[in-house]
Amino acid sequence: MKIVKDYINLLPRQATKPARTLNSALPAAVVYALLWFVAIGWQVWQGRQLQQLMVPLAAQRQALQQELAALQKDLGLTATQGMGGEKAALINRLLGERVSWSEVFKQFSQLVPKGLWFDSLEGGAAGKAEIRVRGGAFNYVSVAEFMIGMEKSGYFEKPQLLFAQKATVQGQDIVGFEIVCGIRKAEAR
């Protein structure tokens, strides 16, 4: 038989409360999942941006490789793999001695004043790169403007006027001149 104390409980019955951890864990899990998706989305977006940046860089790299191959062909070098330090230094030294003549002509096209022309241009890159310009102008001022432009350009070194002489050709007074100057190779690149 049961004793009364076994089935009578004087303490208030505790209501069964649902587990609160499930209710508070659910919003935390949702916030965590949202943050995770945002982080993954951000990484994907950055990856696409980097891929878009890589397209022009890949094209530039290909153009540089083609230019390198052309320069190596010009220099007579065939093997690029396993290049030693001495060979690389030789290539850099040879490339440093080269003059971009197209850049020289581009600079001249920007400097030539009205009423001045060239009869001949001679250039050399052996040792010190220099250029010799022979031409004519309608007056001494044009020759002076051309020389001042050469000095200010920063591309040409120490332009020297070898001669400027007035002559009459077909009834027109012209000034024949000859200028020699160096070329700054470091700025030519």
What are phi and psi for residue 89, nearest 5 degrees? -65, -40
In this structure, the answer to whether residues 163 and 108 fall within a common structural domain is yes
In this structure, the answer to whether residues 59 and 113 fall within a common structural domain is no
Report pLDDT digits (tens) over 80-109.
Answer: 555 667 777 777 666 666 667 778 888 888
Whole-number Å distance between alpha carbons of 172 and 137: 11
Last residue of a domain, one of 39, 73, 107: 73
In this structure, the answer to whether residues 173 and 112 fall within a common structural domain is yes
- Does residue 9 form part of some domain? no
- Does residue 172 form part of some domain? yes
Report pLDDT digits (tens) over 105-158.
Answer: 888 888 888 889 989 888 876 667 788 999 999 999 999 999 899 888 878 888
- Does residue 118 form part of some domain? yes
What CATH code is carried by the domain that includes residue 125? 3.30.980.50
For the chain, give the mean pLDDT.
80
- How many C-beta neighbours within 10 Å does residue 87 have? 13
| Residue position matching structure tokens 């860089």 | 57
Alpha helices in the chain (DSSP H): 4-7, 20-75, 85-97, 101-111, 140-153, 185-188
This prediction has a pTM of 0.47
In this structure, the answer to whether residues 110 and 176 fall within a common structural domain is yes
Q: Supply the range of the domain harboring residue 129.
A: 99-188
* Interhelix angle 85-97/20-75, nearest 10 degrees: 70
- Does residue 89 form part of some domain? no
- Does residue 85 form part of some domain? no
Report pLDDT digits (tens) over 37-85.
Answer: 999 999 999 999 999 999 899 999 999 999 888 887 777 766 555 566 7
- Characterize 132-146 residue by residue with b for buried, 16 or more Cβ atoms within 10 angstroms of its Cβ, and e for exposed: ebbbbbeeeebbebb
Number of domains within the chain? 2
Distances (CA, A) of 20 to 14, 23, 162: 15, 5, 99
- Does residue 168 form part of some domain? yes
